[in-house]
Amino acid sequence: MLRGLNMDRQLLISSLIEYAGRNHSNTEVVATDSTGRVHRTNWTQVHRRAQQVSGALRASGIKQGDRVGTIGWNDHRHLEVYYGITGIGSVLHTVNPRLREEQIAWIINHAEDQLVFVDPDFLSVAETIAPETVSVRSWIVLADEVPETSLRNAVAYEEWIKDNSPIEEWPILDEWSAATLCYTSGTTGNPKGVMQSHRSIVLQTWATCTGDGHDVNSSQSILLAVPMFHVNGWAIPFAAAMAGAKLVLPGPDMSPESIVRQIQEENVTFSAGVPTIWLSVVQHLQESGADVPSLNRLAVGGSAAPRSLMDTLEDDYEVFVSHVWGMTEMTQGSAGRFTHKVVGLDREEKRYRQAMAGRELYGVELRLIDGEGNDVERDGVTPGELLARGPWVAGSYFGLEDDSTHISEPDGVWLRTGDVATMDSEGYISIVDRAKDVIKSGGEWISSIELENAAVGAPGVAEAAAVGLPHDRWGERPLLLVVLEHDKELNPEEILESIKPHVASWWLPNDVVAVEEIPHTGTGKIDKKVLREQFSDFSWSN
Ligand code: ADP
């Protein structure tokens, strides 16, 4: 091999914050903490405080490869901790506080976290699980002082970083060193740990900054509406540093009122998050008559974004929706921006593409297979299981030997995503369903996602969920559950009429039931498992 003659520089997360710290002392990071206090800081200060975190971690005996947990909101301290932990080669393990306490304990034990940063809001969780999580030597409370607590080994973050000297230089690590650990929500079986290397994070961050990724750049003011515990906030905390963009961290209050206020006050141009958040923001905008003139683009993913959401955001508020698909195993997995050809198409054609879940993004190869493992054609209509591979796709799980999620092919390892999808010749994917949520009626498949998306466009419907329930004749039939808008009455015929033009006639739900709320998983997805359990005794009216 004739070797290329480039410099040997490792791709490290510390280089992102160092770059931002050197060049973007005038670029703000605005954060609201759990007391409601707003902190205005900048990238130079975030860099410096991250070095203080690293110094204190080293003084606490944290070494390279040690896992360090966080149970926090989106705020400046969590951001400092992101860089402080990874900068010295220890592993940032973000824990989803919305999980049940026993799940949190399971995850912390599995990761063997040595130390956990915890927001005061979650102190009671720490108190409950502390006796079982024996690997945790200290709980660092993300606050000025420690509130009253039964935890014996709790320390206040501000005291802790002040009492130790910051590190002055970031160590040069191997780019393959583990950097972050994030567990999938484990709707089937135990959660699985996705461990990303520094190299993977830097590469996926670069992809996030590309025009067809999320186009994160220095002209932007970004509101992070994705929790930092959900797939590293979709890499946006890293991308904002790589680009030197303004970053707005909203803290615990994710109400539509608070989001809209922060967009207005901080001149937010771009935000990202799951559809549920934007559905509630749109409803609030419509009811209050408020506007968000600075906002021009949203990245929406994590579950399917309904067509009606795009229509309203673009037609009424001039906000382009970049609809993407992704997973904990790879962060962003598809590109949401239109190709040149699509930009020139008419509104209907564009929206049709937009309602799909993006298209193949360089760096994440996508492919479909059928039940026998044969390749499915990219014809835009034939469904198959979606497989993915690439330099930032997880190749295996942390501490899991029995891994049925990856398959070995002659050309290497592929990740089975568990999603059923179609793909066309331009790489546009359309997620039919999670393999386990697809409704099987008379041997044919009904997409619960398409039913839900059509139902959300029906009059009076705020949110909808479709689940397959046992049916004597058909095996399974769809039941539609709807949360009605304020003051609206249930009118099943009207809802079904409105869905009819969008789906095959035999897909129409057999029944429509109004519910107070639809349960969501810790990452904002409709919890179909809970719904199927809740309606297990349901009897069909027809
Ligand atoms: P968890 O399962 O822990 O909530 P993930 O964020 O890893 O976390 O979930 C990934 C899954 O979310 C995908 O496999 C897919 O089923 C679903 N998903 C993500 N984006 C979309 C999208 N745009 N449309 C439909 N489903 C999506």
State residue 210's pLDDT score. Answer: 96
- Same domain flag for 253 and 128: yes
Catalytic residue among 329, 385, 450, 463: 329
Q: What is the dihedral of CA 326, 291, 279, 427, to 10 degrees?
A: -30
Nearest CA to ligand 1 atom 19: 302
My answer on whether 161 and 290 are in the same domain is yes
pLDDT value at residue 99: 87
Helices (H), 383-491: 448-456
- Given 32, 184, 208, 328, which residue is catalytic? 184
246 is annotated as an active-site residue? no
Atom of ligand 1 nearest to the CA of 231: 6
Who contacts 440 (Cβ-Cβ below 8 Å, separation ≥6)? 446, 468, 475, 476
Gap from CA of 28 to ligand 1 centroid (Å): 31
Number of residues that this document lists for the chain? 542
How many angstroms separate the alpha carbon of residue 326 from the centre of ligand 1? 6
Q: Is the pLDDT of residue 396 over 80?
A: yes
Task: Categorize the per-residue pLDDT at 376 as very low, low, confident or very high, splitting at 50, 70 and 90.
Answer: very high
Out of 303, 361, 449, mutate this one to test ligand 1's pocket (max ligand atoms within 8 Å of CB): namely: 303
In this structure, what token pair is assigned to residue 138?
């200290």
Other C-beta atoms closer than 10 Å to the C-beta of 523 total 20
Looking up tokens 């590469």 gives 203
Ligand 1 pocket, residues with Cβ under 6 angstroms: 184-185, 231, 301-304, 323-328, 357, 417-419, 431, 434, 521, 523, 525
Dihedral (Cα; 139, 144, 145, 151), 10-degree rounding: -10
**Mean pLDDT value of segment 116-132:** 98
Q: How far is CA 524 from CA 230, 277, 313, 327, in A?
A: 10, 9, 20, 13
pLDDT at 436: 86
pLDDT at 187: 59
368 lies in a domain?
no
Query: Which of 277, 298, 322 is the last residue before a domain boundary?
Result: 322
| Interval between CA 303 and ligand 1 midpoint (Å) | 5
Looking at the domain assignment, is residue 235 inside a domain? yes
**How far apart, in whole angstroms, are the C-alpha atoms of residue 407 and residue 373?**
10
418 is a domain residue: no
Specify if 174 maps to a domain: yes
Q: To test the ligand 1 pocket, which listed residue (298, 419, 450, 529) has its Cβ within 8 A of the most ligand atoms?
A: 419
pLDDT digits (tens, 9 = 90+) for 228-269: 999 999 999 999 999 999 999 999 999 999 999 999 999 999
Of 317-321, 363-367, 457-461, which gets the smallest average pLDDT? 457-461
Q: Rounded to the nearest whole angstrom, what is the distance from the C-alpha of residue 431 to the centroid of ligand 1?
A: 10
Give dist(CA 46, CA 42) in Å, integer: 6
User: Could you give phi then psi for residue 496, rounded to 5 degrees?
Assistant: -65, -40
Percentage with pLDDT > 70 across the chain: 99
AA letter at 178: A
264, 295 contact by CB (below 8 A): no
Residue 338 lies inside a defined structural domain of this protein: no
For residue 445, indicate whether it is catalytic. Answer: yes
Out of 198-207, 224-233, 353-362, 519-528, least confident range: 519-528
Q: Is the pLDDT of residue 465 over 70?
A: yes
- pLDDT band of residue 172 (cuts 50, 70, 90) is very high
| Segment 36-71, tens digit of pLDDT | 999 999 999 999 999 999 999 999 999 999 999 999
Count CB neighbours of 167 within 10 A: 20
Q: Cα separation of 541 and 538, whole Å?
A: 9
Name the domain boundary from 259, 293, 322: 322
**Shared domain check, 446 and 303:** no
Higher pLDDT, 443 or 14: 14
Q: How would residue 216 be classed by pLDDT, with cut points 50, 70 and 90?
A: very high
Work out which ligand 1 atom sits closest to the CA atom of 357.
23
| Best mutation site among 431, 438, 449, 521 for ligand 1 pocket (most ligand atoms within 8 Å of CB) | 431
CA–CA separation, 523 and 191 (whole Å): 13
Number of the ligand 1 atom closest to the C-alpha atom of 521: 4
523 pLDDT higher than 80: no
Compute, in angstroms, the gap from residue 182 CA to the centroid of ligand 1.
Answer: 14
Ligand 1, atom 26, lies closest to the CA of 303
Please check whether residue 214 lies inside any domain of the structure: yes
Q: How many domains does the chain have?
A: 2
Query: Is 180 found in the same domain as 39?
Result: yes
What does the alpha-carbon distance between residue 498 and residue 479 come to, in Å, rounded to a whole number?
A: 16
The confidence score (pLDDT) of residue 504 equals 87
In a domain, 62, yes or no: yes
Catalytic residue among 63, 436, 440, 500: 440
Contact 307, 314 (CB under 8 A): no
Instruction: Give the CATH number, domain containing residue 83.
Output: 3.40.50.12780
What pLDDT band is residue 188 in, cutting at 50, 70 and 90? low
Counting from 1 in the atom list of ligand 1, the atom nearest the Cα of 184 is 3
What is the rounded average pLDDT for all residues in the chain? 94
433 Cα to the center of ligand 1, angstroms: 10
How far, in Å, CA of 25 to CA of 119, rounded? Answer: 27
Does position 340 have pLDDT exceeding 80, yes or no? yes
| Domain housing 132 | 13-322
Looking at 289, 322, 355, which one is the last position of a domain?
A: 322
pLDDT score recorded for residue 86: 98
Q: Among this protein's residues, is 170 annotated catalytic?
A: no
Q: Are residues 127 and 258 in the same domain?
A: yes
Mean pLDDT in residue range 164-186: 94
Atom of ligand 1 nearest to the CA of 185: 3
Pocket test for ligand 1, best of 188, 196, 274, 325 (most atoms within 8 A of CB): 325
Residue 412 Rama label (left phi>0; alpha psi -120 to 50; beta): left
Is 184 in the active site?
yes
Percent of the chain whose predicted confidence (pLDDT) is above 90: 83
Looking at the fold, whether 304 and 447 belong to one and the same domain comes out as no
Residue 139, domain member (yes or no): yes
CATH of residue 456's domain is 3.30.300.30
